[in-house]
Structure 1
Amino acid sequence: MTFESIHEIKNGEQYPVQVTSHYLEHEGTEYELAFAKDITEQKTKQKRERFLHRLLRHDISNKCQIIQGYIQLINKPKIPKEDRELLEKIEKASKEQRRIIEKVRTLKEISEEEPKPIDVNKIIKESVQENRNQAQKQDIEIKNRSYEEPTKALAGKLLKEILDNIITNAIRHAECKKIEVKTKNQEQKTKIIIQDDGEGIPDEQKPKVFKKGYKKGKNKGTGLGLHLAKKIAEAYNGEIKLKNSKLGGARFEIILQKP
């Protein structure tokens, strides 16, 4: 067994330790053998990394907001077409940077979140509702076919990040007219299925989809979305599978453990 604790020496000074203990039996008598390791340097490093991470996110985010503000000031009706196209590229790049910041934040949160019993249907409902307007602008219908009653699985708040990534990916890249989301109960697992009627993903591309940096199509994004979804599912001791949908497009199956 390994756990962290605080060790106090005679002068009252305290420092963090990692304790590893083992139970031993010798000649009918049980003994507990414990080792304590000073982890002050490790904790200091972690604290510094958290500070630098927050500082970096904050500064880059602020710079992106400043860029967006200047774009709005410059973007007037009489701007020449060539200049307007340049402004649109700058704005797109700025928004992309902000999305990357959020992806990095989520990657950090993965290691800090513990799976717990949650109602996946509630998360599905929230995700579908939030993505519906974006889908309607592309003339895409999103249908929530999950169960009305609660469906439990071991996961956390980042499950919504998985759903949002897959649904957004379908809206932007699938060239579809319909997206369906549903749940399926299995004996020891809960399955969330997201499928569309779009172009689908060729078999030779399927192994690459979840790799970091994978990008495809004219509307390609950060190349982090599906990679991030896979990492979150694995943190919940689950997995994501990519198959062909009976609707004609792609079918993503998020498979989670039941409580």
Structure 2
Amino acid sequence: AQKEAEFYNTLLRHDVANKLQLVMGYLEILLEKELDSESRELAILAMRSARSAVEIIEKVRKLQMLKKGMERKRIELDELIEDIVDEYSKEAKKKSIEVDYRKGGKKVVADELLREAIANLVWNSIIHSGATKINIYTEENEDAVKIIVKDNGKGIPDEEKKKIFEMGYKGKESKGGGLGLYLVKKIVESMNGKVDVRNGVENGVTKGVRFEITIPK
């Protein structure tokens, strides 16, 4: 019964994702035409909704991958994080956010979904924090490697910090599906690690938020 449920789940995700790609293709063609301002705004909103649905399907797919287990290998964090920063540089520039990664030469044994976990934290800061600067760096001790994503934005209320990694939880201004940070938590826990969120500190003053992923050696 479980295998059958997984089959239909995969089939549904695949078919819905394909239909959404078609919808997005038609919307792109529509947006290339001359439209009145109201029609253009509606087409843009429809495109955002379709993209959001595609992102939710992709996150569900990755949660399924976690259940099956994945091969782990030694990963160079400098290369991985620089690739994430490059990928999101256009969006960060659009919002006048400086994203700085300080190379640390650290390596971890993890699976390929670690990239997804770090990327989700960086994207979350770019989209939701209201920051002007995001700092990413690594720390290491005898037992573990930490990946820190810190911003100087508006921060997260303490009551939200307790719920932020729960499935389906969304902040007041979030338009996502409430799966991004839950996925981060599940990915990191699958590697026997943990993810924490706390207040950021800048020049001795509490400002922004600091996410930490800890991966054991």
Q: Same fold (TM over 0.5)?
A: yes
Aligned: 1:170 with 2:129: no
Q: How far 1:239 moved relative to its partner?
A: 0.2
Corresponding residue number in structure 2 for 1:109: 65
TM-score by length of 1: 0.76
Corresponding residue number in structure 1 for 2:214: 255
Corresponding residue number in structure 1 for 2:155: 200
User: Matches of 1:232 and 1:101 in 2, distance apart?
Assistant: 16
Corresponding residue number in structure 2 for 1:245: 200
Question: Alignment partner of 1:232: what SS?
Answer: helix
Q: How far 1:87 moved relative to its partner?
A: 1.7
Question: Alignment partner of 2:167: what SS?
Answer: coil
Q: How far 1:179 moved relative to its partner?
A: 0.6
- Selected match of 1:153 from 108, 112, 116: 108
Corresponding residue number in structure 2 for 1:235: 190
- Selected match of 1:94 from 36, 45, 50: 50
Q: Describe the superposition over 1:176-233 as per-residue Cα deviations: whole angstroms up to 9, x where unpaired.
A: 0111110101111111111001001111110111111122254521211001000000
Q: How far 1:153 moved relative to its partner?
A: 2.2
User: Matches of 1:246 and 1:172 in 2, distance apart?
Assistant: 20
Q: Do the aligned partners of residues 80 and 217 (structure 1) sit closer, same or farther apart at CA in structure 2, a change above 3 Å counting?
A: farther
User: Matches of 1:78 and 1:134 in 2, distance apart?
Assistant: 26
Question: Alignment partner of 2:131: what SS?
Answer: coil
- Selected match of 1:134 from 71, 81, 91: 91
CA RMSD of the aligned region, Å?
1.9
User: Matches of 1:174 and 1:108 in 2, distance apart?
Assistant: 29
Contact persistence 1:238–1:254 (CA under 8 A): yes
Q: How far 1:116 moved relative to its partner?
A: 4.0
Q: Which structure has the highest strand share of the two?
A: 1
Corresponding residue number in structure 2 for 1:224: 179
Greater alpha carbon shift after TM alignment, 64-73 vs 160-169: 64-73
User: Matches of 2:114 and 2:51 in 1, distance apart?
Assistant: 23
Question: Alignment partner of 2:159: what SS?
Answer: coil
Aligned AA (1:113): M
User: Matches of 2:91 and 2:45 in 1, distance apart?
Assistant: 21
Question: Alignment partner of 1:175: what SS?
Answer: coil
TM-score by length of 2: 0.90
Contact persistence 2:168–2:177 (CA under 8 A): yes
Aligned AA (2:12): L
Contact persistence 2:72–2:112 (CA under 8 A): no
Q: Which structure has the highest helix share of the two?
A: 2
User: Matches of 1:215 and 1:183 in 2, distance apart?
Assistant: 27
Aligned AA (1:99): E
Greater alpha carbon shift after TM alignment, 60-69 vs 248-257: 60-69
Unpaired runs of 5+ residues, structure 2, are: none
Identity over the aligned pairs, expressed in percent?
A: 39
Q: Where does 1:6-85 land on structure 2 (aligned, <5 Å)?
A: 45-46=2-3, 48-75=4-31, 78-85=34-41
Contact persistence 2:160–2:171 (CA under 8 A): no
Question: Alignment partner of 2:117: what SS?
Answer: helix
Q: Do the aligned partners of residues 243 and 218 (structure 1) sit closer, same or farther apart at CA in structure 2, a change above 3 Å counting?
A: closer
Q: How far 1:234 moved relative to its partner?
A: 0.4
Give structure 1 regions of 4+ aligned residues with deviation exceeding 6 angstroms.
none
Contact persistence 1:192–1:254 (CA under 8 A): yes
User: Matches of 1:133 and 1:73 in 2, distance apart?
Assistant: 23
